[in-house]
Amino acid sequence: MRGIYGQNKEIQLNNFMASLKEASKKDYDNVNNWFDAFRSLKDYIKTLPTSEKHVFFFDEMPWMDNKKSDFLAAFEWFWNDYASTIDNLVFIVCGSATSWMDEKIANNKGGLFNRQTCRLYLKPFNLYEVEQYLISRGINWSRYDIVECYMIMGGIPYYLSLLDRELALKQNIDKLYFSKNGELWNEFNHLYKTLFTNSDDYIRVVSALSQKPGGLTRTELIERSGMSTGGEITKILENLILSGFVRVSGFYGKKKKDALYQLADYYSLFYFKYIEQNYGKDEHFWSKTTDNPSFRAWAGLSFEQVCKDHIEQIKDRLGISGVLTQESAWFVRDDEDNGITGAQIDLLIDRRDHVVTICEIKYSLNEFLIDKAYDMNLRNKIESFRKATNCKKSIQLVMVTSYGLRNGKYNSLVNSEVTIDDLFEITRQK
């Protein structure tokens, strides 16, 4: 059985009964409500052999639950009154609306409370899995191109399935995002309307977050989005975090209420940065964008997101995968009275072995060169962090780059290096 997006109760019921008819090879009287529909399903199950296991799959269940349809109440009744007593019966329910699945099924406080056997959360592909998927489709791109693709599409299999192996990466992006009637140019509104009720409120929140890629505190987010301070914004943030659209990061040395909320969905980030203002203006927009200041700024921020989504791979490369850690962000403003220069750390790993790892993330076309000015910048950053936080732990600097560091006389400050190859290779060992 599969729900149909945006359709009313009558159509959902007809679709359900059509699926039941196809499985049972039996005609059923027209049903007017979900209770009758589940009674019909119950009658069908009774005809099945008890010596075999029977699996029923409900795809996109949230879409069946129209307002005032009583779908969920009927399903709860069916499950508690009958289905839960049948040992050879397995029900698999799924839905892309993660918030609905979490509230109505996983954390149901009513008739389905504590009824689930297990919960499966399908995460996006990581870099290694994307590489393997592309290879399986005859797409043999460099890892640099795969990372750029990831920064635009994330690890969403559907988006990746749209790539044309006859085209280069940039041609694919032009075709899918910037050409007339490209398949992903209008994905944004469809995505949020499909996943969330009151999608306009969710869009207001992610739009506010897109304006500050480094993240916003809850107070800052409320001010920028114009949302109320009550339970509404709390629920929206919970659903966005649960669905992987928003990442919440602790702020080193501060309480939980000072956490930063950061837009983490790659498509949404790309939409706000490029698609919203540029669709229809130039069908070769992305091919012409490479290596201009706007691209470099976007690529640097997006690569930080990729690194945060592959933190376990980074830890493995550093040999600390078995060490308890806490990841956070940190920044400080100029404080002349205390001799502190303003600084920002996008990824900081606080380790139980009394070491703090500062990750400096740089995305570049070639090996990255630390010159005299950048060396001074790094030294000031470390010293500002030590002074402002009164950190007594050892501090190590890790450079996360595309192709590693170029040999130079200012590399001595760096304790370890991580490259994009490490992100792929480490994943392969998992």
Give the rounded percent of residues in the chain with a pLDDT score beyond 90: 66
Q: 238 or 111: which carries more pLDDT confidence?
A: 238
Q: Give pLDDT, residue 67.
A: 81
The band of 426, judged by pLDDT with boundaries at 50, 70 and 90, is: low
Q: Average pLDDT for residues 28-39, to the nearest whole number? A: 90
Grade residue 430 by pLDDT with cuts at 50, 70 and 90: very low
Place of tokens 């990841």: 327
> Can you tell me the mean pLDDT for 198-211?
93
Lay out the sheet containing 325-332: strands in order across.
260-263, 246-251, 325-332, 343-351, 355-362, 394-401, 416-419
Is the pLDDT assigned to residue 429 strictly greater than 70?
A: no
Q: Region 17-37: what's the mean pLDDT?
A: 91
Strand partners, 30: none
Give the pLDDT confidence score for residue 117 in this predicted structure.
Answer: 81
- The mean per-residue pLDDT over the stretch 215-226 comes to 90
Q: What is the mean pLDDT of the chain?
A: 91
**Banded pLDDT at 66 (limits 50, 70, 90):** confident
pLDDT tens readout for residues 253-281: 776 667 889 999 999 999 999 998 887 78
**Which pLDDT score, from 0 to 100, does residue 420 have?**
96
Query: For domain 310-428, which architecture applies?
Result: 3-Layer(aba) Sandwich (3.40)
For residue 192 the two structure tokens come to 């949020």
pLDDT band at 403 (very low <50, low <70, confident <90, very high): very high
Residue pLDDT, tens place only, 118-165: 888 888 999 999 999 999 999 999 999 999 999 999 999 999 999 999
Measured distance CA(353)–CA(367) in Å, rounded: 31
pLDDT band at 427 (very low <50, low <70, confident <90, very high): very low
Mean pLDDT computed over 235-241: 91
- Per the DSSP assignment, residues forming a β-bridge with 192 are none
Helix axis angle for 71-81 and 34-46, nearest 10°, is 30
Q: What is the pLDDT of residues 315-361, one digit of tens each?
A: 999 999 989 999 998 988 888 888 888 999 989 999 999 999 999 99
Mean pLDDT (whole number) for 379-405:
95
* pLDDT tens per residue across span 289-309: 877 888 998 999 999 999 999
> Domain ranges in the chain?
9-106, 127-185+279-300, 189-270, 310-428
In terms of average pLDDT, the best of 80-94, 119-133, 394-408 is 394-408
- DSSP collapsed to 3 states, the chain: CECCCCCCHHHHHHHHHHHHHHHHCCCCCCCCCHHHHHHHHHHHHHCCCCCCCEEEEEECHHHHCCCCCCHHHHHHHHHHHCHHHCCCEEEEECCCCHHHHHHHHHCCCCCCCCCCCCCCCCCCCCHHHHHHHHHHCCCCCCHHHHHHHHHHHCCCHHHHHCCCCCCCHHHHHHHHHHCCCCCCCCHHHHHHHHHCCCHHHHHHHHHHHHCCCCCECHHHHHHHHCCCCCHHHHHHHHHHHHCCCEEEEEECCCCHHHCEEEECCHHHHHHHHHHHHHCCCCCCCHHHCCCCHHHHHHHHHHHHHHHHHCHHHHHHHCCCCCCCEEEEEEEECCEHHHCECCEEEEEEEEECCCEEEEEEEECCCCCECCCHHHHHHHHHHHHHHHHHHCCCCEEEEEEEECCCECCCCCCCCCCEEEEHHHHHHHHHCC
Please state, in angstroms and rounded to a whole number, the distance separating the CA atoms of residues 130 and 148.
12
Residue 428 reports pLDDT greater than 60? no
Q: Taking residues 75-81, what's their average pLDDT?
A: 92
Q: What is the pTM of this model?
A: 0.88
* Residue from 271, 246, 76, 79 nearest 186 by CA: 271
pLDDT at 103 over 60: yes
Q: Which fold has domain 189-270?
A: Arc Repressor Mutant, subunit A (1.10.10)
Cβ atoms within 10 Å, residue 156: 17
CA dihedral 8, 9, 12, 16 (to 10 degrees): -170
Name the pLDDT band for 231 (thresholds 50, 70, 90). Answer: confident
